[in-house]
Structure 1
């Protein structure tokens, strides 16, 4: 089965890289965090990084670069609701704080709604 959607519960540098690569390879990505401000910051960092990639990759093709940017950007959605994110995804990637109780709580929540 091909993977088409990924929910990502981490906003570290590694997490942003995973999200960007997933979106670049035609996957729908849902970023999950506790606060909208964290999601906005993550999106801004991803878009800045993507623009650097495009500048190199599409040096001679500005229109192609703009299309690529918009296509990738449109594959990334955000939410503060874990349940909404995991209900329709094929893969959930978690890398939250290394606290057993916190991780167990998150996985319990995911288990209740994930397909």
Structure 2
């Protein structure tokens, strides 16, 4: 028993694994939240850019070419309509532009139709 006198008591070893585990959970949760935010932002901005792209295309139309205007507004106008009042305006505009679509030679756009086109595009700025 004489030899056992050199044995010392138990020494406490610092254990940081619980704190590392909590830190890991916080970091992973934060990264997941940031990733979800970026995905939602990317999806949201894509819809907005498509609408803006269509508006830009319609605004750049040459009103001196009535056949091109009639086809473009009929094709792309529905992408920028988002409520019933604008839908009615779009339908009325398409009705007025229909005679310009199916003939080989078409007359110039009348001033009333040009005003409706400008109003239709201006309403979508808001």
Note whether the superposition's TM-score is higher than 0.5: no
More strand per residue: 1
More helix per residue: 2
Task: Tell me: higher relative CO, structure 1 or 2? Use CA pairs within 8 A at least 6 residues apart.
Answer: 1
